[in-house]
Amino acid sequence: MRIYTALVLTNVFSLTLGLALPVCTQIQRAVSSASAVYFPASGHYTEDLAHWVESSTQFSACSVEPGTAADLSIIIQLLGQTRTPFAIKGGGHTGNPGFSSTPGVQVAMTRFSGVQYNATSGTATIGSGLIWDDVYTALEPHGVVVGGGRVSGVGVAGLTLGGGYNWLANQVGLTIDTVVEYELVKPNGAIVSVTASSDPDLFFALKGGGNIFGVVTQFTFNTFPQGQVWGGVIFYGPAQVAAVTAAVASFANSVTDPKAAIIPGYTFQLGQTLAVNIMFYDGPSPPPGIFDQFLAIPHTSADISTRSFLSLVQSAPANVTAGTRGAFHAVSFLEYSPEILDAISNETTFWGTRLAFAGINVTYNVEPFLETIYTHNPSPTAFPFYRTPRTMPLLFEYLWTLPTSDLIAHTAMRQSAEHLTRVAVEAGQAVAQAPLYPNYALFGTPIERIYGSNLPRLRSIKARVDPDNVMGLVGGWKL
């Protein structure tokens, strides 16, 4: 049975590769010298296909690096006309297999790498092939920032198109809330500027709609003044987990300073549940009280200081080693109460113990945000489909090395999400149908949980913008 499935898959796979090859050659002939097509022998090909977790990478017939919007338009039209499966990759940080990989044509956006700061408008126009580290580096000399990835290596494009929880979110909202203009190659190849006034429906749809509505070449963001920040990462041993839980509950339910943020995590490694916390304060030193409880707990190591925004982002361990497989999933909470945090800590130990045989390391990251996080943008966006009451994500991150552990991990993550949602509902939180963050939710999550009451509007925009369903040739969330 298993051999049969493998044979069928192999045949479908080589069929796609074979059909896609002539399209690669067609693209090569049609594009300008600003763009390039690479084949499996090339190092560029390997780089274009690579993802943060290996399980999100698959062999493609070729990779294409478009260098201009005009070339990208030609490429999208050729792929659409020939109905060739393809993928669009930004920073390659998706945990979902097939969301930015394909057996067809891999489009890597790396050549869209500009950062232009306009001091008059206070905006920055940023290429969709960059990672946030590049953005922070380029904007630092201007004393401004765009709120994006909170740790190193995350792509601008995927994070922004999916929503964007960021260190400034309590002050300015999600990253999507700060976008004022998109340069988009539509599924029919038209190159357009999308703003709130040029096409309000499409502008709404791109704010959380991922790769459903076309390919973005650049984003224009509002920027915010940025000086030195305070924070970094702190690690705790197994004996301190209960004390960390108490500190997290206290932070989540009492700190109202929008400049303060944390991402505490529970992780099971080598038979033990450990705790970690990334702390952020938007200023050179935090007022007393906010982080004292975390600092007072005995810790195994810490890297906390007054530093640049970029240095803080790069302080957390976020670049995994080659060959690691992995996936993310999430649940949404209305409140991080001590009981919920206790259940999350228990869940880490429970699944960590149970999945050790398959070499799976489990981590749960708690993301507390203020009640006001979604009030900074009065306009509706594709995600989240409601803004009050505000929901907060819990991110699960499972990492392993063996392909045979894929199904075990995915199944456990779904069960864990169901369990934690049930615990929250039993505690009185109305989260059974709460929005799930598209950038964290595991593939297979019902689309109602991602776009909810926005689905009818999104479907009608999709029918107008992509009547031939060209973006149906890429993997990702489908309406």
Ligand X SMILES: *[C@@H]1O[C@H](CO)[C@@H](O)[C@H](O)[C@H]1NC(C)=O
Ligand Y SMILES: Cc1cc2nc3c(=O)[nH]c(=O)nc-3n(C[C@H](O)[C@H](O)[C@H](O)COP(=O)(O)OP(=O)(O)OC[C@H]3O[C@@H](n4cnc5c(N)ncnc54)[C@H](O)[C@@H]3O)c2cc1C
Instruction: Assign 258 to helix, strand or coil.
Output: coil
Among 359, 442, 434, 444, residue whose Cα is nearest residue 397: 442
Q: Does 150 bind ligand Y (CB under 6 A)?
A: yes
Q: Show the CA angle centred on residue 283, arms to residues 231 and 155, nearest 5°.
A: 60
The interface mask with ligand X, positions 138-167, x = CB under 6 A, is: --------------xx--------------
89 makes contact, choosing from ligand Y, ligand X, none, with CB < 5 to 8 Å by partner type, with ligand Y
Determine the interface stretch with ligand X among 209-217, 338-346, 442-450, 466-474 (rule: CB under 6 A): 338-346
Residue whose tokens read 């916390």:
277
| Strand 224-225 with 229-236, pairing | unpaired
Q: Does 151 bind ligand Y (CB under 6 A)?
A: yes
Q: Which is nearer to ligand Y, 151 or 413 (CB)?
A: 151
Single out the residue of 66, 97, 127, 149 in contact with ligand Y (rule: CB under 6 A): 149
361 makes contact, choosing from ligand X, ligand Y, none, with CB < 5 to 8 Å by partner type, with ligand X
Q: For the CB of residue 427, give the shortest distance to ligand X in the complex, in Å.
A: 9
CB atoms within 10 A of CB 134: 17
Q: CB neighbours of 3 closer than 8 A, spacing ≥ 6?
A: none
Q: For the CB of residue 319, give the shortest distance to ligand X in the complex, in Å.
A: 4
The terminus-to-terminus CA distance of the chain in angstroms comes to 32
H helix count then E strand count, the chain: 14, 18
Structure tokens at 414: 């779904």
Among 19, 278, 334, 338, residue whose Cα is nearest residue 152: 278
Q: Which is nearer to ligand X, 58 or 361 (CB)?
A: 361
Q: Which is nearer to ligand Y, 52 or 385 (CB)?
A: 52
Q: Does 164 bind ligand Y (CB under 6 A)?
A: yes
Single out the residue of 74, 279, 343, 479 in contact with ligand X (rule: CB under 6 A): 343
112-141: contacts with ligand X (CB under 6 A): 118, 120-121, 131, 133
Q: Which residue is nearest to ligand Y (CB)?
A: 158
Separation of alpha carbons 58 and 193, rounded Å:
32
Q: Which residues pair with 193 in a beta bridge?
A: 183
Instruction: Assign 328 to helix, strand or coil.
Output: strand
CA atoms 175, 178, 184, 187: torsion sign:
positive
Q: For the CB of residue 309, give the shortest distance to ligand Y in the complex, in Å.
A: 13
Q: For the CB of residue 4, give the shortest distance to ligand X in the complex, in Å.
A: 30
Residues at the interface with ligand Y (CB under 6 A) = 52, 88-94, 99-100, 109, 128, 149-151, 154-155, 157-159, 161-165, 210-211, 215-216, 318, 439, 474, 476
